[in-house]
Amino acid sequence: MVRATQTDIEAAVEALRAGELVVFPTETVYGLGANASNPAAVRKIFEVKGRPPDHPVIVHLDDPRYLHRWVAHMPPVAQQLADKFWPGPLTLILPKGENVNDIVTGGQDSIGIRVPSHPMAQQLLNAFGGGIAAPSANRYGRLSPTKPEHVRDELGDAVGVILDGGDSPIGLESTIVSCLDNQARLLRPGFITRSQLEQTVGVLAIGGPVPRAPGDRALHYAPSTPLEIVDSDDLEVRAGEIVARGEKVAVLAMRPPLHTRRHMTWINAGKKPLTYAHNLYNHLRTLDRIGCVKIFVQRLPQDEQWAAILDRLQRASGMGDDSLELSVG
């Protein structure tokens, strides 16, 4: 079990209470946290990330018993999901409480709440005794961090306290479900699948108004290098065209290459969705650093186990679904 020292936790709590930012691990990715009750502190998150002001942040709690501080009421469908999946990688969109500042919600009447299961996140939240607003600890629209070094590389000295929990166990952001009007709508697929959600609350709602939520932009979770999704049979051909021009190319595939070529960097990420997800952002960061002109990613199976990964890669390629209504869950 990954736990922080008492000294580390005290330093993080002191920073939060002073209105500073703290990076901490969760089971999904690393979060860039601020005291959710301090609007000036939350505003620093937006400044450091370069995040649009209308983009809401998720408030993390250590226990559902504190929901009343943030939520106007708990719809029954939300209660069912919370009972089943919290603590865990699930964010619920709920009616916000009157006292919640607009900076947290992006000016909406709803709020995103999560109770993370990572022991170090629980340590921090328990010691702090309040809500921590925390999107992923990276520049807006870029790859989420799954290791503390990712945070240091990207944010540099912008954050004084980084709690080191090692590699993020899951490696992809939380599943987001809107529970407004007591209807469950899947806004972002994640480790918890559509089938698991429907086993708990029945068939999910489709259509109707949906709130803005983290990760809902068409281009998101993106490396600096242009990324394109291609069929397995075309990987060598497309990569070969770039290599023939004397330029570098990168490939993220589910298999080894048929042949190796100079100027071609190939990562075989394998065919197991949990392993692929865990390593995805680390692999993309590795390929992003080599100075290539294009990253080709092998098209993934249209299968529920791959839905969250497919969503992130489609957005990384700029082909995300702005409507938030995802055909695969």
How many domains does the chain contain in total?
Answer: 2
Mean pLDDT, the chain, as a whole number? 93
Angstrom distance (rounded) from CA 297 to CA 316: 10
Do residue 27 and residue 176 come from a single domain? yes
- Structural domain including 49 reads 6-201
Residue 273 lies in a domain: yes
Alpha-carbon distance 219 to 233, whole Å?
A: 26
pLDDT tens per residue across span 32-79:
999 999 999 999 999 999 999 899 999 999 999 999 999 999 999 999
Residues 137 and 280 occupy one common structural domain: no
Percent of the chain with pLDDT over 70: 95
Q: Give the closest residue to 318 by CA, choosing from 221, 176, 174, 210.
A: 221
Give the mean pLDDT of 250-273.
97
The confidence band for 328, taking pLDDT boundaries of 50, 70 and 90, is: very low
Answer yes or no: is 152 within a domain: yes
What is the rounded CA–CA span in Å between residue 107 and residue 54? 6
Q: What are phi and psi of 236, to 5 degrees?
A: -65, -40
What would the pLDDT profile of 175-230 be if each residue is shown by its tens digit?
999 999 999 999 999 999 999 999 999 999 988 778 887 766 667 788 999 999 99
For residues 244 and 175, membership in a common domain is answered with no
Stretch 140-163: mean pLDDT: 94
Question: How many angstroms from the chain centroid is the CA of residue 152?
Answer: 17
Q: What is the 3-state secondary structure (H, E, C) of 265-327?
A: EEEECCCCHHHHHHHHHHHHHHHHCCCCCCEEEECCCCCHHHHHHHHHHHHHCCCCCCCCCCC
Query: Is the model's pLDDT at 275 over the cut of 90?
Result: yes
Top-confidence residue, 240 or 220: 240
Q: What is the pLDDT of residue 213?
A: 79
Tokens of 229: 């999704």
Q: How far apart are CA 191 and CA 88, in angstroms?
A: 10
What CATH number does residue 138 fall under?
Answer: 3.90.870.10
Q: Is the pLDDT of residue 324 over 60?
A: no
Separation CA 195–CA 186 (nearest Å): 11
Per-residue pLDDT band for 320 (boundaries 50, 70, 90) equals low
DSSP secondary structure letter of residue 264 = E
* 181 domain residue, yes or no: yes
Same domain, 158 and 264: no
Buried b (16+ CB within 10 A) or exposed e, 259-298: eeeebbbbbebeeebeebbbbbbbbbbebbeeebebbbbb
Asked whether the beta carbons of 313 and 300 are under 8 A apart, the reply is yes
- 51 and 110 housed in the same domain: yes
CA pair distance 50, 94, nearest whole angstrom = 25
Residue 214: predicted pLDDT? 79
Task: Kindly state the average pLDDT of the residues 115-119.
Answer: 98
**Within a domain: 220:** no
From 184, 201, 218, the end of a domain falls on: 201
Please check whether residues 189 and 245 belong to one and the same domain: no
Residue 309 sits in a domain whose CATH number is: 3.40.50.11030
Residues 23 and 133 in one domain: yes
What predicted TM-score, i.e. pTM, was given to this entire model?
Answer: 0.94
Residues 146 and 237 in one domain: no
State the pLDDT at residue 281.
97
Quote the pLDDT of residue 218.
60
Is residue 49 located within the same domain as residue 169?
Answer: yes
pLDDT of 329? 25
Write the DSSP string, 127-148. HHTS-EE--BSSSTTBPPPSSH
Same domain, 237 and 149: no
What is the C-alpha separation between 329 and 325, in angstroms, rounded?
Answer: 10
* Of 294 and 1, the one with more pLDDT: 294
In a domain, 327, yes or no: no
Q: Which amino acid is at 115?
A: V
Residue 3 confidence (pLDDT) above 90: no
Whole-number Å distance between alpha carbons of 51 and 63: 27
Give tens-digit pLDDT for 14-38.
999 999 999 999 999 999 999 999 9
Among candidate residues 183, 201, 219, the one where a domain is terminated:
201
Mean pLDDT in residue range 153-167: 94
- Rounded CA separation 94/243 (Å): 50
* Beta-strand pair 22-24/161-162: parallel
